[in-house]
């Protein structure tokens, strides 16, 4: 029933996180051809590049015929060691601001 979507997910092993992928899988055919043309924004946190998860999410959104309001934001968390990967993370303020801007852009298009 939403007029637009803001997807946010971590990248795990060069793909969307399992929880996000499961959500998209469970809903894909149910909403197919019912949400065409709606706007979306996307954010991905990644240990390094995030391109695998970005491509995966954008393919799904293309199948749903959603319209991106901005390029997908990929937040590089730079976690490359087992210790860094398992450690709690904090998104830097500049990336939080970019995320807020993306949400604001999406919201402005819904008014």
Question: Does domain 5-110 match CATH 3.90.870.30?
Answer: no
The residues near 4 (Cβ < 8 Å, ≥ 6 apart) are 38, 39, 40, 41, 69, 106, 107, 109, 110
What percent of the chain is modeled with pLDDT above 70? 100
Q: Bigger pLDDT: 64 or 49?
A: 64
* pLDDT, position 1: 85
pLDDT tens-place string over residues 64-110: 999 999 999 999 998 889 999 899 999 999 999 999 999 999 999 99
* pLDDT, position 17: 94
* pLDDT, position 16: 96
pLDDT tens-place string over residues 4-27: 999 999 999 899 999 999 999 999
């Amino acid at each position: 029933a939403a007029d637009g979507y803001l997807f946010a997910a971590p990248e795990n092993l060069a793909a969307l996180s399992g929880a996000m992928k499961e959500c998209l899988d469970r809903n894909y055919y149910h909403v197919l051809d019912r949400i065409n043309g709606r706007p979306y924004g996307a954010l991905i946190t990644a240990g390094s590049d995030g391109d695998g998860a970005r491509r995966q999410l954008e393919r799904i959104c293309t199948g749903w015929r959603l319209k991106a309001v901005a390029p997908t934001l990929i937040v590089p968390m730079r976690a490359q060691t087992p210790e860094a990967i398992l450690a709690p993370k904090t998104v830097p303020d500049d990336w939080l601001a970019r995320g807020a801007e993306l949400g604001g852009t999406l919201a402005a298009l819904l008014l």
